[in-house]
Structures are given as C-alpha cells and as structure tokens.
Structure 1
Amino acid sequence: MPVKHNYTVFRVDELKRRKGNRALVFLSEMGHLLAVSTDLESLLRKALFKVLRFFGMDAGRIYLLDDQGEYLNLYAHVGLQPEGFEKQSLYEGFSGQAVRNRCLIAQHVSTLKDRKRMNFLLKKGFKHIVCVPLIIKDKVIGIMNLASGKDVIDLSENKKDLFTTIGSQIAIAVMNAKLYSELQDKIFRLEHSEETIKSFTYSVTHDLKGPAIGIHGITKRLLDKYSEQLNDSGKACCNQLLKASGHMVALVNQINDYISSKEAPLYFEPFNLKEITGGIREEFSDRFVERKIRWLEPEVLPDIVADKLSVIRAFRNLIDNALKYGGDEMLEIETKYGQDDSFHLLSIRNDGIRIREEEKKKIFESFKRDVTSKGIPGSGLGLSIVAETARKHKGRAWLENGMTKGATFYISISKGLKPTDDGCHE
C-alpha cells in the first residue's frame, strides 16, 4: 500500500532568497551576530558596522544609558571619532530627544538647533542623521545614531520599521551581554568565596587538631600515671576530657576527609577488594567484639581499578555509620560484591534500624543527620563523603531498606576507569 504524505517539501535556493528579500536576510544575519557575541563593546561595534553597510550610511555611534538614567555613554563608534561627545546628558541634543520621546528621529543636519553639533557634522560632510532608540520591554536602554553624506536617504515605512526592529534586536543583545557579564562576575566571586572558605577550613582544622590531640594525650597520660591519686570526681572529669577531645579529633579528621573527597586528585590503580575488606575488618575488630557483631564478607573478591584511599574512606564511613546508628539490636554487618556491564557494585548491609523513608533522599547530603541520631556524636559528613567518592568514580551511592529491619548501602564504581599514568592524577 503506498504511503501518502501530508506535507510538501520546498527546497530553498539560498541565492534567490538573498536577492528576493535583503531585509529578511539582514535581520537573520544580525540575529546570528548578536546571539553569538558576549563582549558588549565588540558586539556593538560589529552590529554598528553591519547596520551602516546595509543602509549605506557613512558613520554611526551607539550610546547606552547609565544606571541612573541621566547620561548616555558612548560604547561603539564607526566612521566618526568621539571628539568630545563620549558622554551626553539625556536632556540635550537629538540623542536625548529620541530617548526621552522613545521614537525614531530623522533630521537634516542643517536644521539642528544645536549649532555646535550642526557645524561639527557639516564640517565632516554629513547631511542627514537618524536616531534609533534601543528599546526592550518598553524601556529605552540607549540610542544608535547614524549619519549619511547623501543628499537623499530612504525613509519609507518599511525602512523605518526595519530601523525599529534592529533597535530592538540590539537592545535585547545588550541586555543578554550584561546578564552574561553579571553571571561571570558572580561565578568569579563565588569561586573566590569558595577558595576563601577552603583556605579558612584548612587553617581552622589544622589549628584545632594539634591542641585537641595534645589535650587527649595529656589527659590519657594523667589517668594512666596518676589515677590512684584522683578521686571519683577527678577521674570522671578526665574521662569526659578524653571523650570530648576524642570527638574533636574525629570531627577534624572527618572535615579533612570531606575536603579531600572534594578536592584531592584521584590516583586510579588496580587492587583486590580483599585488601579493603581485610583492613576494615582489622580496624573495627575491637568494636565488633565489644558489641558481639558478626562481620561477613565473600571468600573471593575481584580486582578493580579505583582510587584505593577513597574506597577505604568510603567503606570506613559506612561501617562507622552502621555502628553509630544501627542500634543495640544490630547483630551483623555484611559486605558484598556485584556487577553489571558498566559498574562494580559494592554494598554494606546491616540488620539494625531501618532508615526512615523521608530521610533516604537527603541522607547523603552534607551535614544532614536523621532525627534518630540526636545525642550521637557525628559531623553529618560521613555519607556525603561516600556519595562524593562514588561520583568521582563515575558512579553513585544509594541505600535500600530491608523488608523488616536493617539497611543496605550501595556504591557503584565505573568499570571504564583506567590506571593513572605515573606522575599524572585525575
């Protein structure tokens, strides 16, 4: 059965199109020019040159209103040097008149009221001027002045409409360029602010860590050597100091880990996941024994390519998170490995307290802690470090609750990562 099409194909002859409607082609070219330029002065100079060539005019200037709306400042000129006209009051000359009245003005130079301007233009050989207001959303933001040495210029209705349309095009481009410039400035200030915050954070954590470790060490030594000479109140104070200084050191380390997860370059290398799980098991063995928690892991694990230190940090935070918030009923923590065509899938499951559904989406955000964590020491950075580690390995982090209890945290790591060349970091 033949297929019937309900459309017609028209082939565009570019040469005929250009000859048939010069104005349409010109507007199209102007639109392209104004869309791709972001530097304001360069944009206006190019636009002015194109306008002069299309209309057969000899010289031109583009002025923009200042923020107070009192003066017109020169931004571009072609064919005519400024010579004292770089800044004009809104209440003088034909430029100010066109802006105030929000209308196009065309005038013979010899009829200008300002004799100084008239003599200046006549001396340069100009006979006609056209002032085109730059209007966007009913607001005049500037003026384009064009001058011609011809005895007669075409000011038909079509030409006047074309002048007005071009004025609006330029006005839109000016606003876009200004918005782009403001955006770049804000980005620069934001980046500078971020650098300041980073420097401050590094400085503070460095300055805090030393005294905290010192307090912790001195207090521990005091308890070890002089505990017999301390009464119950003194021992309690020392134990509280040990606990508080230990929390401070842990917090400083957590902040440093968070900064490292964001800023430190990665070194991708092949290694076996057993190196990670074995080290983690040993690191937390005392706490596992103390709380009678079983540690489960596969007998065989594969080699992967990743940043080893980052993966160790992520595992450490997940285990620490489970121990802190899994609750007293938690009996086991299990690590598993899975994969699909694109990712290694690492998971850590515990059979403790489930994560509330409303908390699941934001639990990986910085400084976010579940309401059930109230009273438990922590920075709210551990899981955000896990998420950042996954992101920098081109994967993601997420969690799934068990059917009746517990939760499983997942990290995916791309299989496409290549070992880092010596001397080169990601």
Structure 2
Amino acid sequence: MPSSRGRGLRVRRRWMAAPKPPGTRDIVTVAFDESRLTERNAALSVLLRLSNVLAGATDLGELLHEALEVVCGHFQLDTARLYLLDSETNTLVLKASRGLDPAGLEIVRMDEGFSGRSARNRCLIAQNVSDLTDRERAALLSSKGLKVVVCVPMIVLDRVEGVMNLSSRGFFELDSEKIDLLMVMGHQIGAAVANARIMRELSAKLDKVREQRETIKFFAYSVSHDLKSPAVGLYGLTKRLKTRYGESLDETGRLYCDQILKAAERIVTLVEQINTYITAREVPRPMRKVCLKSVLSGLRDEFSIRIRERGVRWVEPQVLPEVVGDEMLLTRAVQNLIDNALKHGGEELREIRFEWREDERSYILAISDDGAGIREDQRARLFQPFHRGAAKGVEGTGLGLAILKEVAKRHGGEVWVESEPGRGTTFFFSISKQLDAACRETGTEGSR
C-alpha cells in the first residue's frame, strides 16, 4: 500500500486520493464518495445516512418515521416502533411505527414490557417474545407475528428521551458491533428528539416574549398618548393663568406657576422621547436620501441661543455626505447628542465639533465636545434606557442615548463612545451603505 511521508506524517491509503497540487508537500486530500464509503465501512455509511435524515427533516413525526426506515433497512428488520418518554405521566408514548398494526401498543408503562425495562434500566435489551414474563403482553406481541424484540434506549446527556423498539418475525443475529451501532443510532435519534423538544420550548418562550413585547408596546403607546394631551392642556392653562393673573399672585403663587410649567414641559418631553424610542425600535418607516448638511443647518438654528449663551463654538465640515435613512430619526439622534453635550459638558465646554468618514461598508459620523468627559465606569450603561449618568441636577429623560442606539441599529449601524474625564467626549454612529443599494433598487426610497 502506498504511503505519504514527511515531517512525521504517515498516511496509509486505501482510497482514491484527489490529485495533489504541484509543489505541495505533507498534504493528503481525499475526494469524498459516499458509495465508496458504503463499500469500505457499512456502519459509518448508515450513520451518515441517518445523520442526513435527521438533519433534513423539519417535522418530528416525519423525522422519526424516516429514521426507522433507515434503521430497519440496514438491519433488514420487519417492524419497528419508536417511543418517546412523557415526563409528566412517566410513560412511553408511541410516536412512529413501521411494519405492524400498533393497536394495543400505543402506551407503555415504565414497569411493563421490554421497552419499559430498557428505559428504566438504560440498557439495550434483546429477547425472544416467548421469554417475556408478562404472558398477556407476550400473547399480544405473538398475535402480531413477532418472535424477537430488540429495545434500544435513546439516552442524551444522561436523559432518557425514549426507546427504539425493533422486532423480527424470524431469526435475528446480534453481535458486539451491531449492538454498538444500535446504541449510537439510538443516541443520534435521541439527540434529534432533544433538539426538536428544545426548539419547541424555545419557540413557545419566544411567542410569549413577543406577546409580552406587544403588550408593553401597546401600553407605552397608550400611556404616552394619554399623557401628552393633559400635559399640554396643563401647560397652556397655567401659562394663561400666569399671563392674565400674574400681577394678582404673590411671589409664591408665581413660583408655583413656574414649577407647574416646568413639570408640564418635562412630561411633554418625556412623552415625545418615549414615542421616538418606540418609533426607532418598532415602527417601519421609509428610507430616503438625507442631506446631512441640511440636518445640521436646521439643528444649528434650533440650538443657536443656547450655544451663544454658553459661548460654545460650533464646528462642522464644509462638505457632508448624502446618506439613505430616516430623516426624522437621524435628526433626533444628532439633536440628542448636541443636547447631551450642552447638558453634561460642564463649565469646561467650549466646542462642539462634527466630523465624518467612510469605509467600504458605512458612513461614520462623529460628534465631539471638549467638556467634562465621562468616567469609564459610566460608559457601559450609557445606551441603556432611562440611564441618567452621574450628573447631579441635570434634567433629562434618560432616553436620549438609548434612542441614538436604536436609530443606529435601524440604519444597519452601531454606536460607540470614546471619552476621557476632563478632556471631552466623542460619540460615533454608523450608517450602512447597504441602504444606498436598497434605495437605488426601489427608485427614490426603500424601507427597513
């Protein structure tokens, strides 16, 4: 037999090797051929067929029936049954059968028959039907023409998933190799059953999570809608009260009016932020070409008074890209970052700077300030909803950066921060260029 030598590698070949690329050494490549595998090793071949069946079937019943076909075909057995363990009743329940009428064999208690003993003792059992001590059950099996029964427990991670019951109407010879093969097959089928069970449980949990998520979303929409109208009404009435009757109120009365106005403003702001957060997470919206230069121009006008009062420089590049996105959400994301810098930048804040770059996959926007910075222990929670940071006496809803994160996700991007206490903060968020392709495919807009 030819062999390959080199650097300690020694391979004795009994198969046809694929041609070796010129100039290569110490490499053995083998072209896989299932028909040749059957000739060389029938046991591995049937395990491969069984694996393909178990991997390809999506319905549990179909999976079990096809698995029995493979097992019976290989061992040339007449009949087969496949039981799964019902943990609630502690019984074996018939899920698939082949080659016989299963009437009377649908349920097996753990204390009866070959199958119950196999599951209870976790061992393979092969026995003549005539040797069964339960005479009533022996008569039932004999009436179906069965003479030999082989029960294979399906054990996965020390859990009995069920029993594969194989039967013959004639002579059936067992040896150690067949026993080993049957045990491995039982394990394979059991693993597929366990995976199917886990998937069902996971699917049920996901359905429950979706139901809870819809309930929470409905609650958030309802609360935010029901809160906004009375808050706006409260603000308007209080402002009218102060305007018309302010001279009649003493200093304490006017202070109370101011406090009511401020509280009403906070409620309206919170409701708007909740609505934006829900929109960024849940509501499908059209994607269009967005001019970032126009977005910044509008925001510069909006923040001009606060920026001028603080003596802060606004620095932006002469050229900004056009991106595909949701203009309302992108505007709100940048608006939140500017507001965040002005609120948390501290007395040291002197500059807010906008920059951008791009790579093959994304446009990356960077909004920097030279303010107080963020401590390292605060950064991990920055983008969590309702996180307010360590700043004392700073008003806010705690949703601004959570909205930024959801906007970035909606645009196929990410958000991250770089900061050093006393030296400022830079927030980055990216916008996927794949949205450009979607926009071109749909003409002027797409959806995400």
Does residue 376 (structure 1) correspond to residue 404 (structure 2)? The answer is: no
Does residue 259 (structure 1) correspond to residue 278 (structure 2)? The answer is: yes
Match of 2:93 among 69, 73, 77: 73
Structure 1 residues 98, 258: closer, same or farther in 2, change over 3 A? same
Give yes or no for contact 1:364–1:384 (8 Å, CA) kept in 2.
yes
- Partner Cα separation in structure 1 for residue 362 and residue 234 of structure 2: 45
SS of 1:417 mapped into structure 2: helix
Give yes or no for contact 2:287–2:324 (8 Å, CA) kept in 1.
yes
Structure 1 residues 17, 237: closer, same or farther in 2, change over 3 A? same
Does residue 33 (structure 1) correspond to residue 41 (structure 2)? The answer is: no
Does residue 210 (structure 1) correspond to residue 232 (structure 2)? The answer is: no
Report deviation, 1:8: 4.4
Give yes or no for contact 2:287–2:446 (8 Å, CA) kept in 1.
no
- Partner Cα separation in structure 1 for residue 222 and residue 416 of structure 2: 32
Q: Hey, what does 2:35 align to over in structure 1?
A: 15
Report deviation, 1:40: 2.7
Does residue 317 (structure 1) correspond to residue 336 (structure 2)? The answer is: yes
SS of 1:195 mapped into structure 2: helix
Q: Hey, what does 2:412 align to over in structure 1?
A: 394
Q: Hey, what does 2:217 align to over in structure 1?
A: 198
1:210-262 Cα offsets, whole Å, 9 max, x none, are: 11111111111111111011111111111111111111111111111111111
Report deviation, 1:34: 2.5
Structure 1 residues 156, 303: closer, same or farther in 2, change over 3 A? closer
Q: Hey, what does 2:106 align to over in structure 1?
A: 86
- Partner Cα separation in structure 2 for residue 122 and residue 56 of structure 1: 20
Q: Hey, what does 2:435 align to over in structure 1?
A: 417
Identical amino acids, percent of aligned pairs: 44
Q: Hey, what does 1:166 align to over in structure 2?
A: 185
Match of 1:306 among 315, 325, 335: 325
**Runs of 5+ unmatched residues, structure 2:** 1-21
Q: Hey, what does 2:199 align to over in structure 1?
A: 180
Q: What CA RMSD, in Å, does the superposition of the two structures yield over aligned residues? A: 2.6
Report deviation, 1:161: 2.3
Q: Which moved more, 1:220-229 or 1:385-394?
A: 385-394
Give yes or no for contact 2:288–2:446 (8 Å, CA) kept in 1.
no
User: Higher relative contact order at CA 8 Å, sep ≥6: structure 1 or structure 2?
Assistant: 1
Report deviation, 1:190: 1.5
Q: Which moved more, 1:395-404 or 1:51-60?
A: 395-404
Give yes or no for contact 2:373–2:421 (8 Å, CA) kept in 1.
no
1:255-294 aligned within 5 A:
255-294=274-313
- Partner Cα separation in structure 2 for residue 242 and residue 381 of structure 1: 21
Structure 1 residues 63, 358: closer, same or farther in 2, change over 3 A? same
Total equivalences in the alignment: 423
Give yes or no for contact 1:296–1:335 (8 Å, CA) kept in 2.
yes
SS of 2:353 mapped into structure 1: strand
Match of 1:112 among 132, 151, 172: 132
Q: Hey, what does 1:349 align to over in structure 2?
A: 368
Give yes or no for contact 1:351–1:405 (8 Å, CA) kept in 2.
yes
Compute the TM-score of the two structures, normalised by the length of structure 2: 0.86
1:325-340 aligned within 5 A:
325-340=344-359
Report deviation, 1:77: 1.4
Does residue 124 (structure 1) correspond to residue 144 (structure 2)? The answer is: yes
Compute the TM-score of the two structures, normalised by the length of structure 1: 0.90
- Partner Cα separation in structure 1 for residue 317 and residue 31 of structure 2: 66
1:335-387 Cα offsets, whole Å, 9 max, x none, are: 3344445433333232321122333343233333321x233222221112222
**Runs of 5+ unmatched residues, structure 1:** none
1:79-130 Cα offsets, whole Å, 9 max, x none, are: 2233132222211222222222322222222333333333333333222222
Q: Which moved more, 1:315-324 or 1:161-170?
A: 161-170
SS of 2:342 mapped into structure 1: helix
Q: Hey, what does 2:252 align to over in structure 1?
A: 233
Q: Which moved more, 1:252-261 or 1:5-14?
A: 5-14
